[in-house]
Amino acid sequence: MFSYVFMQNAFIVSILISILCPCIGIFLVLRRYSMIGDTLSHASLAGVTIGLLCNQNPILGAFIFTSICGALIEFLRTYFKKNTDLILAIVLSLGVGTAITLISSGRLHANADAFMFGSILTVSGSDMIMVLIISIISVSAVILLYNEMLYIAYDEEAAKVAGVKVKLINYVFSILVASAIAVSIKTVGVLVISSMITLPVATALQLEKGFRLTLIFSVIVSMIDIISGLLISYYLNVAPGGFTALISVAVLAVVLLLKNIRNW
Amino acid sequence: MIKIEKLFFSYTGNPPFLLDGIDLSINHGDYVSVVGENGCGKSTLLRLILNFLKPTHGSVISEAKMVGYVPQRSESLNFGFPITVYEMLDSYRKLLKIDDKKIISETLSIFGLNNFLNTLVHTLSGGQTQKTLIARALIGHPELLLLDEPSTGIDIDSQKEIYATLKKLNTVNGITIVSVEHNLDAAIANSTLIYHMSGGKGHFCSPNRYAAEYLNNQKEVTSIV
């Protein structure tokens, strides 16, 4: 199977996704912002279509447009303090509206379907380099801003008292969410990216450990989910994104079951 | 340490004002308990001193270079967050750019909590959580310590321990303390000044005088100036 170049590319991208997504996802989940992942992943489809329309790399298009949408969510927070769920509806409308309009216009230079469901066959060498660069920058940012992001998620007021520039870090975090989505979009597909971001974290949280261990377990669970999803989907000849989402749910169910048996 | 002049504040930015022309000055070494009915603006005043809120009119000036803040326990913490006592304090230490790791065990030892380093914060009792929050506030060696109802929902023994520690921090370590209080007995017993708020205004008085009024009337005190 690994004699195929596309499988080698897909495997490397999968490893990167399994590291980056839970590193971002843990902060989203613990801030109870899981639905932001879903909103931005749908918005990323607009970035893909803009990239295809302009004959540019669609992953770069997804990264830029999703970053803008992430920043827009932060900006709109000032105006919708009491109805933050409305912000997601607004950004979702902007993203999906743009995507549908561009796809239906027939002016795209390639098919956007692969980005909806994910396809390992279409991950090219240039895509892989783009994903590698975005992943390295994003994971480095998470390491550098680890304490700031941890405290904003845990106790934002304490973070402010300690001198953390909360608004600035929130904008940087929006870009990190965008990068996780852009990295995942081609292999996993728009429709199930949010499960890559949230489900490994949900599984790791069941182990009831401290933050650092929860993060490490999230990455381990994510690797198990994504790599087994990739390998099995190859043999079953189905889209890896959808099958990985199913494995993620199954792994969570097994962990919940084992936890209940232990506590019984 | 803190100088507040002609402070007006409302959450809408328009009248009526929750804080209606407050002038106050808190000196280095004071232990001020801010008291008053629910909704009179005590916590809002604290949040203005912390710069979480901006005055509608007037000014709030704090000279403290390092501030420690102990929030209302139930409102502040993200319940169920997977964080150990050590992680909570160590990350805070790093945010304050303090290199010496020993500060964590030093502050925890004030309340004898060193055995709880690897315990998840949300599994601690109310009293233990509050003591941990005070320990965190002390990590930066603050000149000014701001507390929002430090004894709400806490057992009597923990309350005694917390107030004894606060008094010691004030008298021995010279830390200026401003504490929003519902616990009037603790406010009278420990503070050097009481700041009583009512109707958007506030007045200082001595704990003894406040106690005399409070114990005589056993009801809302409105006439002390």
B153 and B217 co-located in one domain: yes
* Residue B115 sits in the same domain as residue B20: no
Residues B130 and B225 in one domain: no
- Paired tokens of B173: 């370590």
Q: Is residue B72 one of the residues assigned to a domain?
A: no
Integer Cα distance of B186 and A104 in angstroms: 70
Residues 6+ apart with CB under 8 A from A192: A118, A241, A242, A244, A245
Residues of chain A with pLDDT under 70: 1, 120-121
| Closest among A48, A62, A168, A51 to A113, alpha carbons compared | A48
Mark yes or no for CB contact A158/B50 under 8 Å: no
Cβ count near B211 (within 10 Å):
17
Phi-psi region of B9 (alpha: psi -120 to 50; beta: other; left: phi over 0): beta
| Same domain, yes or no: B17 and B121 | no
pLDDT at res. B225: 39
ipTM (interface predicted TM): 0.88
Q: What pLDDT is stored for residue B76 in this prediction? A: 65
For the four alpha carbons of B114, B117, B119 and B123, in that order, the dihedral sign comes to positive
**Residue B169 tokens, joined:** 């921090």
Q: What is the pLDDT of residue B224?
A: 44
The Cα A199–Cα A25 span in angstroms is 9
Residue with tokens 């803190």: B2
Are B104 and B147 in a shared domain? no
- Token pair belonging to A61: 């298009």
Best mutation target among A144, A160, A161, A217 (most B Cβ atoms within 10 Å) is A161
Task: Give the torsion through C-alpha atoms of A40, A44, A50, A56, to 10 deg.
Answer: 130
Nearest residue to A149 via CA among A37, A41, A28: A28
Among A8, A56, A50, A20, which Cα is nearest to A193's? A20
| Contact in structure between B127 and B155 (CB atoms under 8 Å) | yes
Alpha helical stretches, state H, chain B: 42-49, 73-76, 85-95, 102-109, 126-137, 156-171, 184-190, 207-217
Mark which of B95, B120, B141 sits at the end of a domain.
B141
Nearest to B19 by CA among B2, B41, B34: B41
B32 near B71, Cβ under 8 Å? no
Smallest CA–CA separation between A69 and chain B, in Å?
26
Mapped onto helix, strand or coil, the DSSP state of residue A243 is helix
Q: Are residues B135 and B149 in the same domain?
A: no
A155, A164, A167, A209, best to mutate vs chain B, most B CBs in 10 Å: A155
Residue pairs between chains A and B whose CB atoms are closer than 8 Å: 70
Of A31, A148, A205, the CB nearest to B82: A205
B147 shares a domain with B54: yes
Structure token digits, residue A44: 């990323």
Single-letter residue type at A127: D
- In this complex, the residue of B69, B81, B87 whose CB is nearest that of residue A158 is B69
Give the sign of the dihedral formed by CA B46, CA B49, CA B51, CA B56: positive
Give the pLDDT confidence of B183-225 residue by residue, as tens digits. 888 999 999 999 999 888 899 999 988 888 776 665 555 444 3
Ordered domains of chain A (ranges, CATH): 5-198 (1.10.3470.10)
Determine the 3-state secondary structure of B77 from DSSP: coil
Contact residues, chain A, for B71 at CB < 8 Å: 155, 157-158
If one counts every other C-beta atom within 10 angstroms of the C-beta of residue A15, the result is 16
Distances (CA, A) of A208 to A117, A137, A213, B125, B153: 33, 30, 9, 17, 25
Encoded amino acid at B190, one letter: N
CB A258 within 8 A of CB A55: no
Contacts of A154 in chain B (CB under 8 A): 77-78, 81, 83, 88
Which amino acid belongs to residue A136?
I
- Alpha-carbon distance of A196 to A21, in angstroms, equals 6
For B118, residues 6+ apart whose C-beta sits below 8 A from its C-beta are A210, B84, B85, B86
Query: Is the residue at B133 inside a domain?
Result: yes
Residue A222 token pair: 């994510």
Q: Which residue ranges in chain B fall short of pLDDT 70?
A: 74-76, 215-225
Note whether B150 and B179 are within 8 A (CB). Answer: yes
Is B95 in the same domain as B197?
Answer: no
Contact residues on chain A for B120, CB-CB shorter than 8 A? 208-210
Structural domain containing residue B148 = 1-65+143-225
Q: For residue A109, what pLDDT is reported? A: 72
Nearest residue, CB atoms, B82 vs list A162, A164, A211: A211
Same domain, yes or no, for B121 and B137?
Answer: yes
| Residue B70 domain-assigned (yes or no) | no
Which residues of A fall within a CB distance of 8 Å from B88?
A: 154
Last residue in a domain, options B141, B174, B192? B141
Chain A residues within 8 A of B68 when measuring between CB atoms = 161
What is residue B17's DSSP assignment?
A: P
In a domain, B3, yes or no: yes
- Single residue among B98, B123, B141 that ends a domain in this structure: B141
Same domain (yes/no): B112, B188 = no
- The full length of chain B comes to 225
CA distance linking residue A264 with residue B163, whole number of Å: 42
Query: Do both B46 and B134 map to the same domain?
Result: no
Total tally of structural domains belonging to chain B: 2
Assigned domain for B206 exists: yes
**What residues contact residue B135 under an 8 Å CB cut-off, 6+ apart?**
B89, B107, B108, B110, B111, B113
Nearest to B130 by CA among B80, B93, B166, B174: B166
Residues B147 and B223 in one domain: yes
* pLDDT at residue B223 in the model: 44
CA-based nearest residue to B4, from B188, B204, B205: B204
Q: Which amino acid is at B36?
A: G
Show Cβ contacts of residue B201 under 8 Å, excluding neighbours closer than 6 positions.
B20, B21, B22
> Do residues A209 and A201 make contact, with C-beta atoms less than 8 angstroms apart?
no
**Is residue B29, in this structure, part of any structural domain at all?**
yes
Cβ neighbours around A23 below 10 Å, total:
25
